[in-house]
């Protein structure tokens, strides 16, 4: 079933963390590999901050492998377009990462990429990798085992755990992302929920045509292919696979199963 391989859903070759998908014949197998992949690849860069489990008392800048507590000026700009600017010692530093006062780092097992911004009130638990020019907005809750690419948005009061966002994926407002993979340049409309746990006992099973495939996982949210668009307040049921460039209409409960590329899912 080549249409269930990661390459059928994502431009894997263009993703910096493509190693996560190596050897996966079924795309959801990558979810079980997240902890081991992070253990191998995570190179934390926030350890010198030394403020864990409580709000940062002041804004902190990461630039040139150094923590800057002062001597900077924040100029602002669009984060996920790589235009957020900071001036340090008279030099403009577009690659500086910013953690605003009030953000919470739960532990040191976190990597924050160049040009990324963590807003006040966001909480990040490790192990987590956040790529370059990614915006973690106010009130976001990253519960660990998160792998986020470049130019992404983890939005206001968005919760994320044991999940992957490929480059350009955006969940801007009030989303839940549990045990899921979001493809390149996909977008979750406000209030989107990727449900990951059945209300009945047992592992998540997927209906592929007339065949039932047992994922073997108790918790399994959704696979969202590249450039998928999901409308506001939609819910995907556990074990949903949306092919590339699919579209989900607002306020839809998406039944579990496989939807091929360019699908339209409506009520």
Spell out the per-residue pLDDT of the chain, length 267, in tens: 799 999 999 999 999 999 999 999 999 999 999 999 999 999 999 999 999 999 999 999 999 889 999 989 999 999 998 889 999 988 888 799 999 999 999 999 999 999 999 999 999 999 999 999 999 999 999 999 999 999 999 999 999 999 999 999 999 999 999 999 999 999 999 999 999 999 899 999 998 888 899 999 999 999 999 999 999 999 999 999 999 999 999 999 999 999 999 999 997
CATH code given to domain 2-51+103-265: 2.160.10.10
H, E, C per residue of 199-226? CCCCCCEEEECCEEEECCCCECCEEECC
Predicted confidence at residue 135, as pLDDT, reads 98
pTM, whole model, 2 decimals?
0.96
Which long-range contacts (C-beta less than 8 Å, at least 24 apart) are formed by 96-99?
A: 96/61, 96/62, 96/63, 96/68, 96/72, 97/61, 97/62, 97/63, 98/59, 98/60, 98/61, 98/62, 98/74, 99/46, 99/49, 99/56, 99/59, 99/60, 99/61, 99/62
Give the model's pLDDT for residue 129. 98
Q: Which of 17, 151, 156, 173 is catalytic?
A: 173
- Three-class secondary structure of residue 121 per DSSP: coil
Give residue 94's pLDDT.
Answer: 79
CB 75 within 8 A of CB 66: no
User: Which has the closest alpha carbon to 57: 72, 39, 70?
Assistant: 70
Annotated catalytic residue 173: yes
């Amino acid at each position: 079933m080549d249409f269930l391989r990661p390459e059928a859903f994502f431009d894997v070759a263009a993703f910096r963390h493509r190693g996560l998908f190596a050897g996966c014949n079924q795309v959801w197998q990558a979810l079980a590999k997240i902890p081991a992949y992070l253990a191998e690849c995570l190179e934390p860069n926030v350890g010198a901050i030394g403020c864990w489990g409580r709000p940062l008392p002041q804004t902190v800048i990461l630039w040139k492998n150094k923590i800057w507590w002062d001597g900077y000026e924040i100029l602002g700009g669009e984060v996920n377009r790589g235009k957020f600017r900071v001036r340090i010692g008279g030099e403009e530093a577009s690659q500086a990462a910013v953690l605003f006062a009030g953000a919470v780092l739960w532990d040191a097992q976190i990597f924050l990429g160049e040009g990324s911004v963590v807003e006040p009130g966001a909480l990040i638990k490790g192990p987590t990798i956040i790529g370059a020019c990614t915006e973690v907005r106010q009130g976001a809750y990253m519960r660990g085992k998160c792998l986020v690419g470049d130019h992404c948005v983890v939005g206001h009061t968005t919760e994320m755990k044991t999940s992957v966002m490929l480059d350009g994926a955006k969940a801007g407002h009030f989303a839940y992302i549990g045990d899921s993979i979001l493809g390149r340049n996909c977008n979750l409309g406000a209030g989107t929920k990727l449900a990951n746990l059945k209300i009945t006992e047992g592992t998540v099973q997927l209906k592929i045509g007339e065949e039932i495939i047992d994922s073997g996982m108790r918790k399994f949210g959704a696979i969202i292919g590249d450039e998928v668009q999901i409308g506001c307040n939609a819910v995907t049921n556990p074990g949903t696979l949306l092919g590339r460039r699919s579209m989900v209409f607002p306020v839809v409960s998406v039944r579990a199963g496989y939807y091929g590329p360019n699908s339209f899912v409506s009520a």
